[in-house]
Amino acid sequence: MATLIDRPLVTRAGDERFFLGAAIGMTLVIFAGFSLQLAAGRSTFYSPPLVHAHAIVFMGWVTIYLAQNILVATDRMAIHRRLGWVAAGWIVPMIVLGFCVTIAMVRRGQVPFFFQPLHFLLFDPLTLLTFAGLTAAAIVMRDRTEWHRRLHLCGMAMLLAPGFGRLLPMPLLQPWAWEASFAASMMFPLAGLVRDLRRDGHVHPAWRAGIMTMIGAFVLIEALTYSGTGQALYRVVTAQSPGAAVPPLQFAAPPASGLVTGRS
């Protein structure tokens, strides 16, 4: 959580434990997913510098998010607020690198075979923008703690699909692989919603706002994937590249030698 100003935080009893537990759970999903890829030989360190920069910056955010929740749970708010400034600025390179990696993969025609290339081109950047929007809203509402931490959790949940995507049997889930990873990511904000309902008898409006934003992004991605606008965007992005020869809505055949991520 990126609390940026020196204001007292008024919290409900037990909230720190829930949000810290959720942060730990989300961190484990990310690290377990990527560690499994490496252990299975499906990841390689022989990747372009752009991929390494992307990995470092995104793992850096995961670390910051976990650290911020630890700082709140241990009542070290002065450090939490200072680190919040770093967290706010960290979003900018995340967006830039996320867009660059996605476009590079689509232009090379190297989208994972269980995704449609156009779908991949859309869901990666729009997911990232939704994360940025929810996180920015959390920062703006930093003096309203119950909104702040719930919107942050929803934003972080938008980044979980790559982690779940490396834990779930994605080839077996085709043609609904991305949808399955998105549904898995929704478990964390839905758990918060259920917790509020059971404890307070009502749902905090921040959960409704965050979850509806996530669902809205999902619907927009699905709609654009099968629209003329999406097709036009794909042609612009892949112009004069190997990706231009790849049909935008056709699944590729599984690679004969096995999938290796982070290809050059």
For the stretch 199-258, pLDDT in tens is 999 999 999 999 999 999 999 999 999 999 999 999 999 999 999 999 999 999 998 665
Q: Is the pLDDT of residue 264 over 90?
A: no
DSSP per residue, 181-213: HHHHHTHHHHHHHHHHHHHHSS--HHHHHHHHH
* DSSP-based three-state secondary structure for 43: strand
CB 34 within 8 A of CB 109: no
The answer to the question of residue 90 being in a domain is yes
pTM: 0.90
Domain that holds residue 128: 15-239
257: in domain:
no
In a domain, residue 246? The reply is: no
Q: What's the mean pLDDT in 84-110?
A: 96
The number of domains in the chain is 1
The answer to whether position 6 is within a domain reads no
Tell me whether residue 4 is in a domain.
no
**C-alpha separations of 81 from 9, 22, 78, 117 in Å:** 11, 20, 5, 40
Q: What are phi and psi of 249, to 5 degrees?
A: -115, 20
In which band, very low, low, confident or very high, does the pLDDT at 37 lie, cut at 50, 70 and 90? confident
In a domain, 116, yes or no: yes
Specify if 150 maps to a domain. yes
Q: What percent of the chain has pLDDT over 70?
A: 89
Longest dimension (CA), the chain: 58
What is the CB neighbour count within 10 angstroms for residue 23? 25
For residue 7, the model assigns a pLDDT of 39
Q: How far is CA 5 from CA 90, 207, 231, 244, in A?
A: 17, 23, 44, 48
Asked if residue 5 is part of any domain, the answer here is no
pLDDT number for residue 148: 95
Compute the distance between CA of residue 14 and CA of residue 35 in angstroms, rounded to an integer: 32
The answer to whether 207 and 152 have CB atoms below 8 angstroms apart is: no
Dist CA 87 CA 65 (whole Å): 8
